[in-house]
Chain A
Amino acid sequence: MDERQLERMAAELGRKRAREVDPEATARAVLARLRTEGTRESWWQRVAARPRRALAPVAAAALILLVAVFGLRQLGGPDMMADGDLPIEVGIEQLAEDELNAVLDSLEYEAPVYELVPVALADLNEDELSALLETLEG
C-alpha cells in the first residue's frame, strides 16, 4: 500500500456519518447556546483551552517558583517566611556582608573567621600545603 492509497482511503473516513449531521440545526443550536452562555470565554477558560505544550513554559516557571519557595522554607524553618511573604530571588553574591551574616545567623551557622591575607600557593611551605590538601579532602 502506498501513501496515495492511504490518503484516498482516509478521505472516505467519517463521510457516511457526517452526512447525518444537519448544518442548519447545528447553527441554530450553537447560536442558542451562545445567547444563553455568552459570546466570550473567561480568561481561565482560555488558559485551560491552550494546548498542553503551550502551557509547558508556564508550568516550568511555576515549578521553579514552587521549588524555590519549598527550598527557602526548608532552609529557614517555619519561621523564616511569615504567611504572605513572597520569596525574592536574590543571588548570594548580591548580599552585603551584614546581610550574609544575618542569613548565616538565621541558619544558626557559625561562620569561621578568616583573616584575609593575600597568599599564593607558592608562599606555603610543605606542612601548610599538606594541611590545605587535607582540608580540601575533608
Chain B
Amino acid sequence: MPAEGPPDADLIARWRSGDEGAAAELVQRHTPALARFLAAAGARDDLDDLVQEAFFRAFRRIETFRGTAKFGTWLMAIASNALKDLRRRSRGRTVLTLEERDLPDQTADPHGEAVGRDMLERLEQAVQELPLMQRDVFLMRAQQGAEYKEIAAALETSVGAARVHYHQAVKRLKAKLEK
C-alpha cells in the first residue's frame, strides 16, 4: 500500500463530504491490492467488474466504516461478498481453464518454471476450494500481510477465530500441496 499522499482516513473524510477526487485517489491507491485479492479468490473475466463493484459498494456505505480495520482490508471483505454474490447468481456457469489461471511469468529455468507453475496452480486451486472464511483470512494475511486484529475487524469476527481460520486454512493447503 503506497505511503505517499494523504492518509486513507483523510481521503475517507473528504469523500464523506462529497469530494470525488478523494474517492478517485482511494480507488487508484487500493486497486492493485484489491485486484490481487480478488484474482486469487477466484475472479476471472469478471475481475474488472468485481473491483469496481467492491469500490462502489464501499463508497455507498462509507458511513459504516468505523476505522477499526484498515480501509484496504475492509474493502477486501466487501469484495469477497461481491464475489460470493456473483458466484451465487452464476452458479454452475464458472468453468476454469488452465489458461485462465494466474501463472507466474516466464523464467529462464524451464524446469524450475514448470515446478513453480505446477505448485502455484495447485495452490490457487486449493485456496479457491477453502471455505470462504478460511480463504479470506488466509489471503488477507498471507497475500496482503494484514494483522489478525484488522482481519477480525474487517470480517466481523474475533481475533481468536481469525487465527483458527488461518491455521485451518494453512493445514488444508499444506495437505493438498503435499499430496
Contacts and interface: CB of A to CB of B under 8 A. Distances in A.
Interface of A: 1, 3, 6-7, 9-21, 23-24, 26-31, 33-34, 37-41, 45-46, 49, 51, 53-54
Nearest to A41: B60
A49 B104 contact: no
17 contacts: A6-B174, A7-B142, A9-B119, A10-B40, A11-B143, A14-B38, A16-B102, A17-B35, A18-B36, A19-B32, A20-B47, A23-B31, A23-B32, A26-B51, A26-B55, A27-B23, A39-B60
B146 interface: no
Contacts of B104: 12, 16
A112 B35 CA distance: 74
Interface stretch (B5-13, B66-74, B86-94, B120-128): B120-128
Nearest to B105: A16
Interface residues on B, range: 35 or more
Given A26-B51, A51-B155, A16 B103 contact: yes
Contacts, number: 127
Contacts of A12: 104, 120
B64 interface: yes
A33 B60 CA distance: 11
Main secondary structure on A side of the interface with B:
helix
Contacts of A38: 60
